Each structure stands twice: as C-alpha cells, then as structure tokens.
Amino acid sequence: MEIALYSPGFGYYTKESTVIGRTGDFYTSPHLHPLFGAMIGKQMEEMWYLLDRPKEFCVIEMGAGSGYLAKDMMEYLSGREMYESLHYVIVEINPSVKISQGLLLKEFTAKMRWFDRLTDIGPITGCFLSNELLDAFPVRLIEMEKGLREIYVSVNGQNEFTEIKKPCSHEVEKYFDEFSVDIPLVMESGYRTEVNLRIKEWLREISAILERGFVLTVDYGYPADDYYSPERNRGTLLCYHQHQVIDNPYINIGEQDLTAHVNFSALKKWGEENGLSTLGFAPQGTYLIALGIDEVMADMPDLIGDILDIPKIKGLLLPEGMGESHKVMVQYKGREEMRLRGFALRNRMTYL
C-alpha cells in the first residue's frame, strides 16, 4: 500500500498526473463547496482567540491536495483581525502538486510556506489540520483463519500479485489487546479488517512540534467497537479509480487511491499518550451547524452563488452526503481547559 501510494514518481500521490477533484478519482469537502473552507477558517479564528490571540498562529496542513481548503480559509480570514497573525504551512512530498498549490494560492504567497516532512518544521503555536489524510496511511491487513493472520504480498510464477498469510506481528497483537477487541468472539473464519499503526508515529511527530494548540482531524471512520464489529466482516479497505469503487488493491497500481477508515479510538488514546487531550468528536454535519454555518452564509452571501449551490451545501451537512460519514475530532495540547463551539450540539467522545 505504501509503495502503491507513495513510491517517488510512481505512487498515486507522488506522480505528476494525479488529479483530485470531480475530474479525478475522488473529491473531498473542499471540492464540494468553498463554504467548508470558510467554516474551518472560522474554527481557526476561535482557536486563535482561545489561545489569547498569539502574534503567530501557525496552521500546518498535511494532505492539502489541490490547495482549495487553504485558499477558502485564507479568503475567509483575510481582512479579519486574526489574519495578521496567521502563517500557513503545507507539508507536501509531490513537487508537481507543490507547483499547482503555489499557483492556486499565489495571492497569499506572503503567508505560505512548504515543507517536505513534518520533522523539518520547528516548534509552533497553532493548529495541525488534516482533511482525509489518515485514511491514506498504509495499513496492515488482517484475516481470521485458524487464528489471527497478517496478509503479506508476493508474486507467483506468472508475475502476478499473490497473498501470503503469516502469524501477526507483535505490534498487531498488542494493538488488538490495547483496544479490547475480543478476537475469538468477533472474528470468524474469513473475517478481514485493518490496523493503522502509522497514526501513532504521526501523533508523536505532531506532539514534538506543537508547543501549544490544537489538532483538527476530519476523516471518515468509527470508534473501535464499531470498526471491529462482526457485521463489518470485510473491513474497510477500498480503492477509488475514476470515481468508481474497486475492491481489488492489486490492479491499477499507482493509478488508483487506496484507503481505509480511521479508528478514532486509536487517535484519541494515542493522542493522550502524547500529551494531546481530546476536546470533541462529532459528525461533520452537526459540527458545522454548531460552529455557525448559518452565520457564515448570512455574512458572506457572495459565497452562495445561486440555487445550484444549495445541494452542494447539503452534501456537507446531511447524512446521505458527508454529514454523517465524515467525523471531526479536535485534540489540544496546553494547560487550560478548552471548549469549542463546534461540539456544543453533539459531542460523541464517550463513544471512543
């Protein structure tokens, strides 16, 4: 999965020809409507105030794609009090994507910086932001067959990919113990699922850089109990190619996205182990409503172009769109107790 997505020059996210959006293989909330970026900008503004309006508030975005989220946030915040303090960093490994992001964000060049890796960034006060990033971290594929087995990939005599099942690594066994997944009861023969261990290292890197501030994660996923339920017996690993869902990761290598849902219980637990307390966990729709999407629509009528925008905005909010499938989690590093407006209606932290 890592080779297929990130091999330099050939992986899905590292080659020049990858297009994300309605003309590509999939699209995200920022592609659906610029109101999403405006709302994230509104969230950054609230965080800035809660941190007592620091002179430098740094937003670090990983997995920025085409750059529309950054653009829509900047347009919302430009002219507001926070804008003078704002610094925006994009972590991007694809040189061609950096160029296209730079062109899209050229009017905000003075506020922008690009880095190849998180570890290149010095200590900051502000917010780590990601939208549909963690689902693209490479996962371990697990299957129950006379015990727990981990799936490895090889090639057969015809030079075709083939799966090999071996005993699970110690890290995977520890993971299932950590989240109290009752393997004998839950996993019948043939049950498949995934384990994302990369999130743990990612949180460690973030905590080392974040002196004070927030981690805002938007992605699709579940609490551990739901993720590893008996009904989800084929896991969540899927591929996207030209807006078609494909269940075979061994075709279209480097030409299709590979993705697996996020275990938000792991994000919460591993975050706490790295000094990040969880402030809230909610579906995207109720989060945006609680945050005040109606106020932004009233204040920025030009953002709502015409009646054709209404279905797109509904797509951000309603369960049949991204309103329920996508979740928002905010974690915090600092001494004070914090409460965020976006979780006032439906904070589901207890489910984690």
Q: What is the pLDDT of residues 33-89, one digit of tens each?
A: 999 999 999 999 999 999 999 999 999 999 999 999 999 999 999 989 999 999 999
Query: How would residue 264 be classed by pLDDT, with cut points 50, 70 and 90?
Result: very high
pLDDT for the residue numbered 121: 95
Q: What is the pLDDT of residues 234-252, one digit of tens each?
A: 999 999 988 889 999 999 9
Mean of the pLDDT values across residues 309-317? 91
pTM (two decimals): 0.94
- Residue 224's contacts (CB-CB under 8 Å, 6 or more residues apart) are 179, 180, 181, 263, 265, 266, 352
pLDDT for the residue numbered 292: 97
- Tokens coding 209: 């850089």
Report the share of the chain in percent with pLDDT over 90.
79
Report the share of the chain in percent with pLDDT over 70.
95
- Residue range 2-137+197-240+256-351 forms a domain whose CATH class is alpha beta
Query: How would residue 310 be classed by pLDDT, with cut points 50, 70 and 90?
Result: confident
d(CA 196, CA 198): 6
pLDDT for the residue numbered 306: 73
pLDDT for the residue numbered 189: 73
pLDDT for the residue numbered 26: 57
pLDDT for the residue numbered 188: 61
The three-state (H, E, C) secondary structure of the chain, written as one string? CHHHHHCCCCCCCCCCCCCCCCCCCCCCHHHHCCHHHHHHHHHHHHHHHHCCCCCCEEEEEECCCCCHHHHHHHHHHCCCHHHHHEEEEEECCCHHHHHHHHHHCHHHHHHEEEECCHHHCCCEEEEEEEECCHHHCCCEEEEECCCEEEEEEEECCCCCEEEEEEECCHHHHHHHHHCCCCHHHHCCCCCEEEECCHHHHHHHHHHHHEEEEEEEEEEEEECHHHHCCCCCCCCCCEEEECCEEECCCCCCCCCCEEECCEEHHHHHHHHHHCCCEEEEEEEHHHHHHHHCHHHHHHHCHHHCCCCCHHHHHHHHHCCCCCCCCEEEEEEEECCCCCCCHHHCCCCCHHHC
Q: Using CB atoms within 10 Å of the CB of residue 350, give its burial: 0 to 12 exposed, 13 to 18 middle, 19+ buried.
A: exposed
- Tokens coding 26: 């999939």
Q: Going by DSSP bridges, is the β-strand pair 262-263/257-259 parallel, antiparallel, or unpaired?
A: unpaired
Q: Smallest Cα–Cα separation from 21: which of 66, 71, 74?
A: 66
Mean pLDDT rounded to a whole number for the chain: 92
pLDDT for the residue numbered 308: 72
pLDDT for the residue numbered 301: 85
Delimiting residues of CATH 3.40.50.12710 domain(s) in the chain: 2-137+197-240+256-351
Q: Which residues of 213-231 are buried (b: 16+ CB within 10 A; e: fewer)?
A: bbbbbbbbbbbbeebbeee
